[in-house]
Amino acid sequence: MMAKLITYLRDHSQVLKYVFFAFLLFTIVFDYFAERHEPHFFGDTIIGFWSIFGTVVCLAMVVVFKGLYNNWLKQDEDYYDK
């Protein structure tokens, strides 16, 4: 049953993609209406700040950490046995 449901969802991943993008749009709209607490720093006052923060940090992490990995940290799996 579970397997069939997951397979069904996977086969309709295009629909899921649009649902996901709609959700992203919704979060920004939701942020416009959200009641704000006393700001800790400037980011708390900008609408949609955390969506920009999330995207930028996520992309930066992938680029920086994968860059470090590919150019320095990556070694063969038997590195310590050699």
Asked if 19 touches another protein (CB under 8 A), the answer is: no
> 7, 46, 51: which is closest to 28 by C-alpha?
51
Asked if 18 touches another protein (CB under 8 A), the answer is: no
- How many Å from the N-terminal Cα to the C-terminal Cα in the chain? 48
Asked if 74 touches another protein (CB under 8 A), the answer is: yes
Say if CB 56 and CB 66 are below 8 A apart.
no
From candidates 18, 41, 45, 71, binder to another protein by CB under 8 A: 41
Q: Which residue has the tokens 């397997």?
A: 3
Q: Which residue has the tokens 């086969």?
A: 11
Least gap, CB of 25 to another protein (angstroms): 10
Which residue ranges make up the site for another protein (CB under 8 A)?
Answer: 2-3, 6-7, 10, 20, 23-24, 27-28, 30-31, 33-37, 40-41, 44, 48, 50-55, 57-59, 61-63, 65-66, 68-69, 72-77, 79-80
